[in-house]
Amino acid sequence: MSTTVQDRVTTKTSNTAADARKSEPDAHGVILSEKPADRIETTTCYMCACRCGIKVYLKDGKVRYIEGNRDHPVNKGVLCGKGSAGIMQHYSPARLKAPLLRVGPRGSGEFKEISWEEALQTATSWLAKVRADDPRKLAFFTGRDQSQSLTGWWAIKYGTPNYAAHGGFCSVNMAAAGLYTFGGSFWEFGEPDWDHTKYFMLFGVAEDHSSNPIKIGLGKLKARGAKIVSINPVRTGYNAVADEWVGIRPGTDGAFVGALIHELLRTQRIDIDYLVRYTNAPWLVIEAPGAADHGLFVRDEKGNALAFDKRSNALTPAEGPDVVPQLSGLVKLPDGRTAIPVFQKIAERYLTDAYSPETAEKQCGVPAAAIRRYADELAKVAFEQTITLDVPWTDIHGRRHEKMVGRPVAMHAMRGISAHSNGFQTCRLIHILQILLGSIDCPGGFRYKPPYPKEIAPRVKPTGKPGQVKAGEPLPGPHLGFPMAPGDLLIDDAGTPQRIDKAYSWDAPLAAHGLMHMVITNAALGDPYPIDTLFMYMANMSWNSSMNIRDTLKYLTDKNPETGEYKIPRIIYSDAYYSEMVPYADLILPDTTYLERWDCISMLDRPISEPDAACDAIRHPIVEPDRDVRGFQSVLLDLGARLKLPGLVKEDGSPQFPGGYADYLVNHERAPGIGPLAGWRGNGDTFGKGAPNSDQLNRYIANGGFHAHHIPPSQRYFKHANKEYLDWAASVGFRAADAKMTFQLYCEPLQAFRLAAEGHGPVRPPENHRERIAKYFDPLPFWYEPFEGTMVDTGKFPMHAITQRPMHMYHSWGSQNAWLRQITGHNRLYLSRARGKELGIADDDWVWISSHLGRVRCQVRLMDGVNDQTAWTWNAIGKRKGAWGLSEDAPEATRGFLLNHLISELLPAKGGGYRYSNSDPITGQAAWYDLRVNIEKAAPEAVEHSEPRFEPFDDPIGRGHPDSISYGAEFKRARR
C-alpha cells in the first residue's frame, strides 16, 4: 500500500462570498466566520471501546477540534466527554517515544532506547526459539485489542494455544450466555429497539461499551415517554434518569429475574406462540435419572430433536413448520423411556417457592410487592400495548406474514451481571425472561446487530488439544470456540489443562474468551506449566487490570533460585503510553495514538453494526507521528514475516504484507473472498464476499471511515427466523446455511457436562471437580450466591464492594488526559449515609477497607443513592507514582486507590486444598464484583494519603512535565 496522508481523500472547507463580511474581526475582535480547519478528516474514535465516527479538524498541522460524524452509524454526530477530549490524549506527555530495552531490574523503569531494528531482531530471536522448541511457551494476550481477528490469526500461525484478549475479565459471561441461548448477546452485539420500546429494563450497566448509542437511546426513550427501570446498586449516570431505581444487592439480579419469571408464569402472561415457534420449549427431555442420556433431548436417527405433536398424536421433529406440540405431560417413548417437554421443566423450576417474590426479597432486598408490580408492568406493556409494523416478512419455513408484531419491552445488561461468579446463569435468566415475553428481535424488543444472530451456539470449537500443538507449526484451528460436550475441552487424559490460563479445562469449560486474568499467576507458579515469553498488548496487567496487584507484581519479578532467571523469563509489551505495565516488561514496542494509525473494526471480530445495517470501519493515519513509534498491528505483521510464519511470508520468503496493516486489511483473505473489511470488495460494488480491491481503503476514507450495508425492512426483525435475512446472512458468510437457530431455553450442552460429572461418557472430570460441575452446569438457569460471599466469613466482611467507570474515563487511560483528570483526579469510597452513621463514619473521613486478601486506605463520601450493603468507587483512577507522565504528588497516586488490591485472583482453598480462580465456574469470567469487605474508620495521619503505596517508577517520560498548557493559543496567534 502506498497510500499516504497527503494523497488520501480530504474534506476541504470551502470559502464562500460571505467570508468577507464575517471573516474580519469586529470592534471587539469577534470573528464570526473563521475557517476552522485547513482540512477535516473522518476516522474512528478510540477514546473508549464504543468506536464512534469522528471528524478531526486540522489546522497548521495540529488537531484543532474533534466532533462526532453525523453520518456515522454508531454515534450519529454526537460525542461523549472522552471523545471530545481526544486532543489531550493525542498530545499526552505519557506517550512512549521509542522502543525500549530494560536495563535495570524489572519494575524499576530503567530502560535504554533502542532502534526498531534492534527491537524487532530481539523479539524475533526470542520468539523464534520458543516456536522451534515448544510454542506453548509463548503466551500472547492482547488486552483491549480492537484487532482480534488479526492477533488471533497471528497466534494460530505461530502455533501457540495461549492466546486471548481481555474478554475473560470483561464480558464473557454475557457473550457465552447469549450465544448459547439465542445466538446473540448484550454488550455491543445487540441493542434495545430504541425507536419502539415502551418499557426498558437496564441491569447493572456501567457507562462504557455502547456509550453513545445508549445515551442516544435513553434520549429517545425520554422524548417518547417510555418507562425506564434501572436495576443497579448505585444510582449514578443512566440510573439517575430512570423512572425507577431498584438499588439491588450486588450479585442477586438472578434472584430478582427468577421471581419475575415466576410471576409471569403464575399469572399466565407469557408469549406461548413465540415459545412454540422459536424456542425449544416443546422439545422432549429424556427422564431417566442415573442413565447416560438423562436430561438430553429425544432425537430421531438424523439427530433432530423431537416434540410430541398433538394433531398427529405422534413424535415429530420439533423444528417442523406445523407442529402443534404438547407442552406438558409425560410422553412415553417407543423404546419405553419417558420424556417431558422443556416447557414443563421450566414451569416446575420457576413456579416453586424457591423463585417466589418473597424468597427473592430475602435474597436481593427488593420488596416482593414491588417485584409483582414490575412483572405486572412488563406483562401489561408486552401483551396489551403490542406494536404492529405493516411490514410483510417470510419466516424460516417460507410462510409469509403480513405484519411484524412486537412486544415493546426491552432489556439491556452489562458488567453488573457479567462480573460475578453467577453471571453466566444470571444472564441466562434474563434471556429466559426476554424470551418468555416474546421480546427478542421483535419490534420494541432487544434487537440483534449483524452478523448476529449466529448459530446457537456457534459451531466453532476451541483448538489446542494434546497433539494439536506442534513445534514450528501453526495451530490447526482457532483458539476460542464453543464446546458442546466434554470431548471439546482442551485437556489431556488426566484432565490437565492445556492452556496456560486453564481455559476450556474443568476449571472453566466454556471459557469462550480465555482467562487473561490468570496468565501471570499461572505462568509464575508453573501451573499447569511454566512459559518462556509473555507477549502482551494494551493491557495494564501490573495494575488496574489484574486482581491481587501485590502478588501479581511478585509474580512478574520472582526469580527461579536455581537459574537466577525471572520465573517469567521474557516479557514483551506494546502500549502507546507509559502505563504501570511498561516498567515490568523487558522489551517495549511503542504503539501510536489513535490518530496516527491504521485500524480495522472488522465483521470478523467486533464490528460496529446497527440492527438495521451491517457496518464496519477503519482508522487511518491523519497525523504523522512525531516520535519513533509504529502501529502495533504493522509491527506484528513484521514480526510474523521475520519469523517466517505461514501466511505472513510469500513463497520466496519475503513479507506477504510489506505495506503493513493497511496492506493486510486490503489483501488478506480469511476465506476465499472474505477479508477484514466487508465493504467495497471486488470491483468496488460487492459487500461481504468478493476479491480484494486495491481501492478499498480509499473508498472507506471517502465514506467517512466506515461502510454500512443497509438491511431491507422485511429483514429487520425476527432475524433468527427471517428467511430472507438468514439466506442473505449465509450468502455473505455471517452464518452457515444449515445453522440451527432455535432458542435454547434448556441448554443441552450444560447437561452433557453434568452427565460427565455424574460418571457418564468417555471424558469425565477428575473426582475433585465433579461436585462443582454437577451443581453449576444446570441446563436451566438458576440463582446462587456468588462464591466469595459463601467462602469468607460474611460476619467479618459484611459489605459488598464494586466499582464502576466514570463516563468521562476509559480504564486507566483517562488520567493522563489534562482535561479529564481535572474532572476526576482521585476517587472516594462511596457509602450510604445510613451505613456511615452506623459505622461512625462521616463525609471525608479516611477509612480502612479490608477483604480476605488485604486492605486499602481511602477517603469516604456518603450518599443516598447506593444500596445499603454496598460500597463502591470509580475504577482505574488510582495510579502508581511515576506512571502515566504524572508527577509523583498527583492526586491519582496520593489519594486515588484501587479495589484491585482487595480482590483475590484465586478463591480460598476448599477441601483438598485446590484453589479455583475467582471466576464463574462455567465461563471463567473474573468475578471481581463478588468482593466482600469490612470498613472501619482509620486513625488520622499528619498528611492523609491512600494505601497501599508502592515505590515510584523511575520514569524518564514523566520528568519535566509542563507547569501549564495553553493549547489553542497558537491558533489565535496565527489568526492575528
Partner 1 sequence: MTCLPTHTERKLGLVIDLDTCVGCHGCATSCKEWNTGGYSAPLSDTDPYGADPDGAWLNRIHGYEVGDGTESRTVHFPRSCLHCETPDCVTVCPTGASFKRAEDGIVLVDPDLCIGCKLCSWACPYGAREYDPSHGVMKKCTLCVDRIYNEHLAPEDRTPACVRACPTGARHFGDLGDPNSKVSQLVAERGGFDLLGAFGYKPVNKYLPPRSRRDARTVGADTDTAPQKQKIAAPTTAIENLFSWVDRALSR
Considering only residues 348-367, where is the footprint of partner 1 by CB under 8 A?
A: 348, 351-353, 367
Q: Are 394 and 433 in contact (CB under 8 A)?
A: no
Q: Which of 9, 24, 34, 909 binds partner 1 (CB under 8 A)?
A: 34
Q: How do 829-832 and 446-448 pair as beta strands?
A: unpaired
Instruction: Tell whether residue 384 is a contact of partner 1 (CB under 8 A).
Output: no
Please identify, using beta-carbon distances, which residue of 34 and 771 lies nearer to partner 1. 34
Radius of gyration of the chain (CA): 28
Please identify, using beta-carbon distances, which residue of 34 and 727 lies nearer to partner 1. 34
Q: Are 438 and 274 in contact (CB under 8 A)?
A: yes
Contact pattern from residue 601 through residue 640 relative to partner 1, giving x for each residue in contact according to CB under 8 A and a dash for the rest: ----------------------------------------
Rounded to a whole number of angstroms, the minimum distance from the CB of residue 36 to partner 1 is 6
Please identify, using beta-carbon distances, which residue of 110 and 244 lies nearer to partner 1. 244
Please identify, using beta-carbon distances, which residue of 737 and 969 lies nearer to partner 1. 969
Q: Are 571 and 130 in contact (CB under 8 A)?
A: no
Residues 328-347 that bind partner 1 (CB under 8 A): 328-329, 343-344, 347
Q: Which of 4, 6, 29, 762 binds partner 1 (CB under 8 A)?
A: 29
Q: Which of 39, 71, 81, 655 binds partner 1 (CB under 8 A)?
A: 81
The span from the CA of 472 to the CA of 134, in Å, is: 8
Q: Which of 132, 330, 691, 965 binds partner 1 (CB under 8 A)?
A: 965
Residues 552-571 that bind partner 1 (CB under 8 A): none
Q: Which of 9, 24, 36, 392 binds partner 1 (CB under 8 A)?
A: 36
Rounded to a whole number of angstroms, the minimum distance from the CB of residue 903 to partner 1 is 27
The span from the CA of 286 to the CA of 293, in Å, is: 7
Rounded to a whole number of angstroms, the minimum distance from the CB of residue 106 to partner 1 is 25
Please identify, using beta-carbon distances, which residue of 7 and 353 lies nearer to partner 1. 353
Q: Which of 808, 852, 857, 901 binds partner 1 (CB under 8 A)?
A: 808
Stretch that binds partner 1, among 74-82, 505-513, 670-678, 724-732 (CB under 8 A): 74-82
Residues 213-272 that bind partner 1 (CB under 8 A): 215-216, 218-219, 222-223, 227, 235-241, 243-244, 263, 265-268, 272
Contact pattern from residue 876 through residue 905 relative to partner 1, giving x for each residue in contact according to CB under 8 A and a dash for the rest: ---------xxx-xxx--x-----------
Q: Which residues pair with 306 in a beta bridge?
A: 317
Rounded to a whole number of angstroms, the minimum distance from the CB of residue 705 to partner 1 is 18
Query: Any idea how long the chain is?
Result: 976
Please identify, using beta-carbon distances, which residue of 215 and 431 lies nearer to partner 1. 215
Cell numbers linked to 284: 422432549
The span from the CA of 482 to the CA of 462, in Å, is: 7
Rounded to a whole number of angstroms, the minimum distance from the CB of residue 356 to partner 1 is 8
Stretch that binds partner 1, among 27-35, 614-622, 684-692, 720-728 (CB under 8 A): 27-35
Please identify, using beta-carbon distances, which residue of 550 and 959 lies nearer to partner 1. 959
Amino acid at 156: I
* Closest residue by Cα to residue 420 from 177, 182, 146: 177
**11-18 long-range contacts, Cβ below 8 Å, gap at least 24?**
11/39, 11/40, 11/41, 11/42, 11/55, 12/39, 12/40, 13/37, 13/39, 13/40
Q: Which of 45, 56, 64, 921 binds partner 1 (CB under 8 A)?
A: 64
Neighbour tally for 565: CB within 10 Å: 12
Please identify, using beta-carbon distances, which residue of 587 and 858 lies nearer to partner 1. 858
Residues 96-135 that bind partner 1 (CB under 8 A): none
Instruction: Tell whether residue 84 is a contact of partner 1 (CB under 8 A).
Output: yes
Q: Are 229 and 205 in contact (CB under 8 A)?
A: no
Stretch that binds partner 1, among 372-380, 403-411, 638-646, 921-929 (CB under 8 A): 372-380
Q: Are 797 and 930 in contact (CB under 8 A)?
A: no
Instruction: Tell whether residue 436 is a contact of partner 1 (CB under 8 A).
Output: no
Rounded to a whole number of angstroms, the minimum distance from the CB of residue 818 to partner 1 is 4
Number of residues that bind partner 1 (CB under 8 A): 114
Please identify, using beta-carbon distances, which residue of 347 and 791 lies nearer to partner 1. 347
Please identify, using beta-carbon distances, which residue of 352 and 683 lies nearer to partner 1. 352
HEC profile for 665-692? Answer: HHHCCCECCECCCCCCECCCCECCCCCC
Rounded to a whole number of angstroms, the minimum distance from the CB of residue 194 to partner 1 is 12
Amino acid at 896: G
Instruction: Tell whether residue 825 is a contact of partner 1 (CB under 8 A).
Output: yes
The span from the CA of 440 to the CA of 611, in Å, is: 12
Q: Which of 419, 587, 622, 818 binds partner 1 (CB under 8 A)?
A: 818
Strand ordering across the sheet containing 706-710? 599-601, 613-619, 706-710
What's the DSSP call for residue 387?
E
Q: Which of 71, 113, 376, 527 binds partner 1 (CB under 8 A)?
A: 376
* Closest residue by Cα to residue 347 from 430, 434, 270, 255: 270
Rounded to a whole number of angstroms, the minimum distance from the CB of residue 259 to partner 1 is 13
Please identify, using beta-carbon distances, which residue of 80 and 802 lies nearer to partner 1. 80
Rounded to a whole number of angstroms, the minimum distance from the CB of residue 937 to partner 1 is 23
Rounded to a whole number of angstroms, the minimum distance from the CB of residue 156 to partner 1 is 38
The helix (H) or strand (E) run that includes residue 266 is helix 253-266
Instruction: Tell whether residue 789 is a contact of partner 1 (CB under 8 A).
Output: no
Residues 37-56 that bind partner 1 (CB under 8 A): none
Instruction: Tell whether residue 313 is a contact of partner 1 (CB under 8 A).
Output: no
Rounded to a whole number of angstroms, the minimum distance from the CB of residue 96 to partner 1 is 16
Instruction: Tell whether residue 849 is a contact of partner 1 (CB under 8 A).
Output: no
Instruction: Tell whether residue 654 is a contact of partner 1 (CB under 8 A).
Output: no
Stretch that binds partner 1, among 13-21, 128-136, 664-672, 794-802 (CB under 8 A): 13-21
Rounded to a whole number of angstroms, the minimum distance from the CB of residue 376 to partner 1 is 6
The span from the CA of 439 to the CA of 271, in Å, is: 9
Instruction: Tell whether residue 312 is a contact of partner 1 (CB under 8 A).
Output: no
Q: Which of 98, 276, 333, 649 binds partner 1 (CB under 8 A)?
A: 276
Cell numbers linked to 710: 443497509
Please identify, using beta-carbon distances, which residue of 207 and 596 lies nearer to partner 1. 207
Residues 192-211 that bind partner 1 (CB under 8 A): 207, 211
The span from the CA of 308 to the CA of 298, in Å, is: 10
Instruction: Tell whether residue 599 is a contact of partner 1 (CB under 8 A).
Output: no
Stretch that binds partner 1, among 73-81, 390-398, 453-461, 623-631 (CB under 8 A): 73-81
Q: What angle do CA 824, 826, 829 make, to 5 degrees?
A: 110
Q: Beta-strand (E) ranges in 390-502?
A: 393-394, 400-401, 404-406, 409-413, 446-448
Neighbour tally for 393: CB within 10 Å: 23
Neighbouring residues of 427: CB distance < 8 A, sequence distance ≥ 6: 173, 174, 177, 178, 186, 413, 417, 418
Q: Are 43 and 623 in contact (CB under 8 A)?
A: no
State the DSSP string of 881-922: TT-TT--TT-HHHHT---GGGG--SBPPP-TTS---BSB-TT
Residues 902-961 that bind partner 1 (CB under 8 A): 958, 961
CA atoms within a 13 Å half-sphere pointing along the CA-CB vector of 902: 30
The span from the CA of 112 to the CA of 954, in Å, is: 12
* Closest residue by Cα to residue 196 from 442, 378, 377: 442
Neighbour tally for 956: CB within 10 Å: 15
